[in-house]
Amino acid sequence: MGLDDDSWGIDHGTWSVLAHAFPDADVPVVQLSIDASKPFEYHQQLGAQTRPLSEEGVLIIASGNIVHNLRAISWGATDQGYDWALRFDDDTRSVMLNTPAELASLRAHDDYRAECADARPLLPLAYIAGIVDARESTTEVLIEGCTMGSLSMTSYVTRASTSD
Q: pLDDT digit string (tens) for 84-137?
A: 999 999 999 999 999 988 988 988 888 887 766 666 777 888 888 898 888 777
pLDDT above 90 covers a percentage of the chain that reads: 18
Segment 31-84, tens digit of pLDDT: 777 787 888 889 899 888 887 887 787 777 776 677 888 889 999 998 899 999
Q: Is the pLDDT at 161 greater than 50, yes or no?
A: yes
**19 vs 1: which has the higher pLDDT:** 19
**16 vs 82: which has the higher pLDDT:** 82
pLDDT of the residue at 19: 80
Specify the DSSP element, H or E, that contains 62.
Answer: strand 60-62
Q: Is the pLDDT at 151 greater than 80, yes or no?
A: yes
Across the chain, what does the average pLDDT equal?
80
Specify the DSSP element, H or E, that contains 140.
Answer: strand 140-143
Q: Choose which CATH entry (3.30.980.10, 3.40.830.10, 3.40.640.10, 3.40.718.10) describes domain 62-159.
A: 3.40.830.10
Give the Cα separation of 128 and 50 in Å (integer): 9
Res. 162 pLDDT band, cuts 50 70 90: very low
Give the Cα separation of 59 and 43 in Å (integer): 18
pLDDT of the residue at 80: 92
What are the extents of the domains in the chain?
Answer: 62-159
